[in-house]
A and B are shown apart, each in its own frame.
Chain A
Amino acid sequence: MANNEETFKKIQEIIADQLDKEPEEVKMESNFKNDFDADSLDIFEIINEIEDEFDVKIEAEEGIDTVKDLVEFVEKQA
């Protein structure tokens, strides 16, 4: 499985694509709600893409506020 940096890069691309941002705008500490004005459906969409890309199952979208939360979730399951 990819290391932390690779995981982040892929997740960064997925988020940037979904939220119409430049990849470099998506940082590890970015908060979906506060920094990107993303709502629950945006997060659903991002989680779906990540589940497909990494072949993982993310059940608890409640606990996902930042990019770091997602990266750590994927790393844990890898």
Chain B
Amino acid sequence: MLKITQTAHYVPSKVVTNDDLSKMMDTNDEWIRTRTGIRQRHVVTDEDTTDLVVNVANELIQKGGISGADIDFIIVATASASEAVPTAAAEVQKAIGASKAFVFDLNAACSGFIYGMSVLRGLFTNPTYKKGILIGAEVLSKYTDWSDRTTAVLFGDGAGGVLVEKDAAAGNMFLGEDLLSMGDLGDKITMAGTTNESPFNDGATADNPGKWVTMDGRAVYAFATRNVPKSIERALAQADLTLDQIDLFVLHQANYRIVESIAKRLGQPIEKFPMNIANYGNTSAASVPILLDELNAAGKIKRGDTIALSGFGGGLTLGTEIIKF
């Protein structure tokens, strides 16, 4: 069966604090902290998404004591790849010499890592594949309007990932799953719209929402706090588990108030919902694997723990994977 054998994360070294932002726009540390839980975020200077992903992939194979040539597939969950082609996954394949692998990017915005876990699980049903890498990575700073205080305070850059291997001694890793998307609410979060400069273009991108990230805060807050608890409950029902049997809920780090609201709606103690949003802001597809790696490195998750991973955001998308660590 399957096992997450290694976790890793990487963030760019440049830190931007709330006080730094208050010098760029009309905002302040107290406002940002009380409404989001964010104290600082990491942003790239001379790096891009590929660099973050390569750092994570290198750490995963080093920790695992394997080489790139041992990897069967690489999935990068990102909405902000350095370029559309070659994919971030292709860049990583080259960097780590994963010569026998097949690789691709997956975009489900903030839910990308969770959707990636589902895809990874499916791929592993092929008996040929023994080792796979899934990395969530974002550089949202390049899609942030740094003059817009309603969005600029929220996001950060980073990457995190897992090495998953077939292990005859391991039990079931995937216990339950729930994935759901709501495309009719797609305009509630938008980012990275492109312009069609073709001479034949006759308005194909006229109503494109544009490059900068936009978000309808109230709609997204309501979407997350209403739907994530239901998603967790559906995944638990599939796993035939109860809320009390979950050791930790590792949720997408969008806003600590959303996490608190979800904990309250589920009737679970907030201590079971670890958070690191204070240090990173919302890193979209990277938030769950960054948190997972920090918990693993700190010994806060142990082998055999039952963990609920949930992502939610752009699309709109949401999803939960109940896993045995």
Interface residues of A (CB under 8 A from B): 39-41, 44-45, 47-48, 51-52, 61
Contacts and interface: CB of A to CB of B under 8 A. Distances in A.
Given A44-B218, A61-B218, A39 B225 contact: no
A63 to B, nearest CB: 13
A48 B226 contact: yes
Nearest to A40: B35
A48 B227 CA distance: 12
B272 interface: no
Interface centre among A39, A40, A45, A52 (most CB of B within 10 A): A45
Interface centre among B218, B225, B257, B261 (most CB of A within 10 A): B218
A13 to B, nearest CB: 15
Interface string B21-51: 0000000000000110000000000000000
A45 B34 CA distance: 15
A45 B261 contact: yes
B221 interface: yes
A48 B229 CA distance: 14
A45 B35 contact: no
Interface in B200-240: 217-218, 221-222, 225-226
Contacts of A52: 226
A31 to B, nearest CB: 18
A45 to B, nearest CB: 6
25 contacts: A39-B34, A39-B35, A40-B35, A40-B217, A40-B218, A41-B35, A41-B221, A41-B255, A41-B257, A44-B217, A44-B218, A44-B221, A44-B222, A45-B221, A45-B225, A45-B261, A47-B218, A47-B222, A48-B221, A48-B222, A48-B225, A48-B226, A51-B222, A52-B226, A61-B218
B279 to A, nearest CB: 21
A47 B225 CA distance: 12
A51 to B, nearest CB: 8
Nearest to B218: A44
Nearest to A48: B222
A10 to B, nearest CB: 18
A72 to B, nearest CB: 20
Contacts of B35: 39-41
Given A39-B34, A44-B218, A44-B222, 5 more contacts: A41-B35, A41-B255, A48-B225, A48-B226, A61-B218
Nearest to B257: A41
B150 to A, nearest CB: 11
Contacts of A40: 35, 217-218
A52 B227 CA distance: 12
Nearest to B258: A41
Contacts of B34: 39
B263 to A, nearest CB: 13
A41 B255 CA distance: 11
A40 B35 CA distance: 8
A47 B221 CA distance: 11
Contacts of B217: 40, 44
Q: Which 5 A-B pairs have the closest CB atoms?
A: A44-B221, A41-B257, A48-B222, A44-B218, A41-B35
A14 to B, nearest CB: 13
Nearest to B225: A48
Interface string B243-282: 0000000000001010001000000000000000000000
Contacts of A45: 221, 225, 257, 261
Contacts of A44: 217-218, 221-222
Contacts of A47: 218, 222
B155 to A, nearest CB: 17
